[in-house]
Structure 1
Amino acid sequence: MAHGQTPIIIWFRRDLRLSDHPALTAAAESGRPVIPVFVCDDLVGRLGSAPKWRLELGLGALAEGLARLDSRLILRSGDALAQLQNIVAETGATSVYWSRSYDLASIERDTEIKAALTEQGVTAKSFAGHLLFEPWTVATKAGQPFRVYTPMWRAVQGRDVPAPAAKVTRLQSPDTWPATEDLNAWQMGRAMNRGAAVVRPFVQPGEQAARDHLDEFLDRVSKYSSQRDRLDQDGTSNLSEYLSLGELGPRTVWHRVHQAALMGVSGTEAFLRQLVWREFAYHLMYHTPHLLSDNWKPEWDSFPWNTDPEHPDVIAWTQARTGIPVVDAGLRQMYVTGRMHNRARMIVASYLTKHLMTHWKIGMQWFEECLIDWDPACNAMGWQWVAGSGPDAAPFFRIFNPQTQAEKFDPDGAYLRRWIAEGHRKSSATARSYFKAVPRSWNLHEDADYPAPVVALAEGRSRALGAYESRKTH
């Protein structure tokens, strides 16, 4: 086999698409055979129940898309380097391409793999694609990483974003395909148990579904500014799971929305700011990796948060039975659909970290277990931002009042009725689904009484502020 015709391995990770995919485009344009590969390694194995199940659905959709190009997705499990080396040996591939990741664990893995493959004469190349801007290309005038969002937004909003590459429509196949494992045999959704059947109707996996959602959002983006915080309205983009798994590229989203902006459509800048908010999360994760595991502001290490995940208050929060309807509604939405409205996420997180004085890491890890749109950077930054330990100009003393939040963003109670069954003579199907989604061991039934508040709102707020003031004086 001539070197020019040796295969290129495309190692798919969180980039499950065929368009706006620089690594795949480069491989396709080379004219060489392309072998798409996904490796279920230790980092994949660590995923929580819901994101791992959603990844399985995404892989199935990607495999179908590749099959339509007369290609296929090769599945392997185990150590990523070992599996890539195995496929190199089996196929004679001389190049391995992949899209970059930005968390420390992935960077360390990828650096080791690149060095090992290079040493054995295999070209190992990483490409952009998961972000609008590579984190090291964005800096303050002093050349430092940004620590506050608004200055970063100002710095990048006028920058050119590369146009997304067109969808790959042809891939050269190798003379022989390497062996593949069976996706169903991996049972990636096993830990979802009975919850999978409840969540599944709310999930449309794959690149085409992602593009359909983007089209639908663009039809109503003009209302984004006024409706995105409304719990009772479909005002958000609903694109988070697609961006998280890379079923939709951020450059595609940016250019489609920016095009609408040039046509004078309102609401577009507000959404583009949120897209750059995602970039800010990755910027922080890359430059300050402890964002994922420790207080971003180390002065919060001495704060007296509860760190016991089995504390009765935490159990009540986990089971969505805090007695605070909007908090419970947000959590129940997550259990039934796999997602939670962004405004509800802030209310739910504030209640746990402020009113219940519980460490943000407990909430962050629970979201990692339950959200199908889980994203390492966005999840960690969101929790730290709300808790006060993260990059926020209005820290701990900003405490969301769940009652006033509900009155403002769910004025007619539609969101609460959609997700809370107890106390209603004729509850909604979505509210009843909560009892079908949660573990049987919780022993919860819709005919049970709705619980009294775990802590009165005024009492919880006073306790949190007292702890904050005490911390400042020590």
Structure 2
Amino acid sequence: MTALSPSIVWFRDDLRLGDHPALNAAIHRGGPLILLYIREKDAARKPGGAKRVWLHHSLQALKSDIEDRGGALILRTGVAADVIDALIKDSGARAVFWNRRYHEPDRDRDAAIKEALTERDVAVESFKANLLVEPWEVRTKAGTPYKVFTPFWRAAKDGMEVSDPLPAPKKLECVDKVLSAALDDWSLLPTQPDWGSKMLNHHTPGEAGAIARLTDFLDGPIEDYAQGRDRPDKALTSKLSPHLAHGEISPRQIWDACKDNEVTSRKFLSEIGWREFSYTLLFYNPDLATENFADGYEAMEWDHDDQAFEAWTKGQTGYPFVDAGMRQLWATGWMHNRVRMVVASFLIKHLMIDWRDGEDWFWDCLLEADLASNAASWQWVAGTGADAAPYFRVFNPFGQGEKFDPNGDYVRQWVPELKDLPNKYIQQPWTAPDKVLNAAGIELGRDYPEPIVDHKQARERVLEAYKTARNSA
């Protein structure tokens, strides 16, 4: 019997073995495998610092999982088409499998690779793996993509048939002696090791870590998620976003795990739906991270204040709820979603700094750094996006703290210099009498900054700027 030629399975944002359609198809084809991850030189947007930290550990975990099954993960750097061509030439591979991506530059590269390989009689197959519904699967009755989340998600659920997740293979037969780069040679970890290593105190990258995180969430916090998800002082969110961004778990696996408790899971699954909606927006608007989605805002005059931006990035704005969030982000590579909205609103609408500067900072600091979700969410807050918060909605940074961190526990955790302030003043330390500040060992301007802007004046300023921009559009 003639031995089957090898198949290449190209891993991208799908660093798992379970529910991996491309891997499953290659195994069913038969023949030995080349399990490949490419550090693409021609990537449209390079991963930020925090995402590189996660990627290192995620690839390390995937490599170990593959080796436990008798296989090998091949790491290469270069232009993807060239890397794949070289592997085909060296190995005699006659099939390439991958799971689909949705950002236009990635799609264009994939399409060009597929066309070139098909012309040479190399089979190429791609699969849906990282979304429940692909962007072209959900459209309005007029045949256009949805621009509002609620009808999008309603239509998606109505037409969605979610099949059971695919099991992880128990054994992997791979081609012997394929050259691979060493992961450590990629220098994904930061030159300041404390920054990267401390992030991992809060997370466990890899497929096993993702499944454990989901299991822990479903075993308890999800019961209170609908009512308590806006409370950053409580551990009620799943923290699955970095795992989803790297494909260590699939939306189908999450959906399947939640199906036995549909009522309790409904609100949580709607957040998975927001991720799906964000990818639809990105698919039809590839410049979502750099161009306003909605018309009428290009004339907005942003304030390019480097000093104010630096204060925001370092959590030194004088608004404790904002500062707690920014310090949490820097320390852990993650931030609670309610706080994300508040810190984004503060940058855009209190400091009048372009939302793109904030999106770029999050891109560098978030472990998940998901292009679709990050861009869509920043535009939502800015009022420039799809189904966005209206431009005149300006989050009150201390009011949000008083409502969602009523005992100040979140602020005390991340802004410890304020820990001895009474609850009454923890969100507005500038209102505390001198004797209260003295008792807490705080001198504003020395131990903790005065507010860098006045809330009322900032609100009036930005509303006027938005009105002017819209009137001139």
What TM-score do the two structures reach when normalised by structure 1? 0.91
1:295 aligns with 2:292: yes
Which is further off, 109-118 or 134-143? 109-118
Alignment partner for residue 272 of structure 2, among 268, 272, 275?
275
Structure-2 separation of matches of 1:121 and 1:177: 25
Alignment partner for residue 467 of structure 2, among 449, 453, 469?
469
Aligned to 2:39: 40
Task: Check 1:283–1:319 CA distance in 2 against 1; reply closer, same or farther (3 A cut).
Answer: same
- 1:323 and 1:450 in contact (8 A); partners too: yes
Q: Which runs of 4+ in 1 moved over 3 A?
A: 191-194, 423-426
- Provide the identity percentage: 41
Shift of 1:197: 2.5
Deviations 1:426-465 (A, max 9, x none): 9xxxxxxxxxxxxxxxxxxxx9521111101111111111
Deviations 1:318-351 (A, max 9, x none): 1111111111100100111110000110000000
Task: Check 1:276–1:192 CA distance in 2 against 1; reply closer, same or farther (3 A cut).
Answer: farther
- 1:91 and 1:177 in contact (8 A); partners too: no
1:258 aligns with 2:252: no
Aligned to 1:124: 124
Matches within 5 A, 1:417-436: 417-424=412-419
Structure-2 separation of matches of 1:471 and 1:267: 43
1:168 aligns with 2:136: no
Counterpart AA for 2:183: L
Task: Check 1:292–1:276 CA distance in 2 against 1; reply closer, same or farther (3 A cut).
Answer: same
Counterpart AA for 1:169: K
Task: Check 1:134–1:191 CA distance in 2 against 1; reply closer, same or farther (3 A cut).
Answer: farther
SS of 2:447's partner is: coil
Deviations 1:181-220 (A, max 9, x none): 1001111113555311221211201111111111111112
Alignment partner for residue 371 of structure 2, among 372, 376, 399?
376
SS of 1:335's partner is: helix
- 1:10 and 1:37 in contact (8 A); partners too: yes
Shift of 1:178: 0.9
Deviations 1:261-315 (A, max 9, x none): 2xxxx43111111111100000100012121220011321111123x3x621111
- 2:297 and 2:466 in contact (8 A); partners too: no
Structure-2 separation of matches of 1:400 and 1:267: 29
Task: Check 1:394–1:190 CA distance in 2 against 1; reply closer, same or farther (3 A cut).
Answer: closer
Number of equivalent positions: 446
Aligned to 1:392: 387
Structure-2 separation of matches of 1:358 and 1:10: 43
Unaligned 5+ segments in structure 2 are 422-444
Aligned to 2:198: 198
Deviations 1:24-63 (A, max 9, x none): 1111122221110001112288111111111111000000
1:319 aligns with 2:320: no
Shift of 1:421: 2.4
SS of 1:384's partner is: helix
Unaligned 5+ segments in structure 1 are 427-446
Shift of 1:423: 4.0
Matches within 5 A, 1:9-24: 9-24=8-23
- 2:325 and 2:336 in contact (8 A); partners too: yes
Structure-2 separation of matches of 1:344 and 1:191: 29
Q: Please provide the CA RMSD for this pair.
A: 1.7
Shift of 1:121: 2.3
Aligned to 2:451: 453
SS of 2:168's partner is: coil
- 1:422 and 1:448 in contact (8 A); partners too: no
Aligned to 1:439: none
SS of 1:115's partner is: helix
Structure-2 separation of matches of 1:44 and 1:91: 29
Shift of 1:471: 2.6
Matches within 5 A, 1:303-342: 303-306=300-303, 308=304, 311-342=306-337
Aligned to 2:237: 236
Aligned to 1:224: 225
Which is further off, 314-323 or 41-50? 41-50
Structure-1 separation of matches of 2:167 and 2:360: 37
Structure-2 separation of matches of 1:9 and 1:398: 50
Aligned to 1:96: 96
Aligned to 1:80: 80
Aligned to 1:434: none
- 1:31 and 1:172 in contact (8 A); partners too: no
Structure-2 separation of matches of 1:193 and 1:396: 40
SS of 1:301's partner is: coil
Alignment partner for residue 402 of structure 1, among 397, 400, 414?
397
Which is further off, 293-302 or 5-14? 293-302
Structure-2 separation of matches of 1:212 and 1:423: 34
Aligned to 2:424: none
Task: Check 1:128–1:361 CA distance in 2 against 1; reply closer, same or farther (3 A cut).
Answer: same
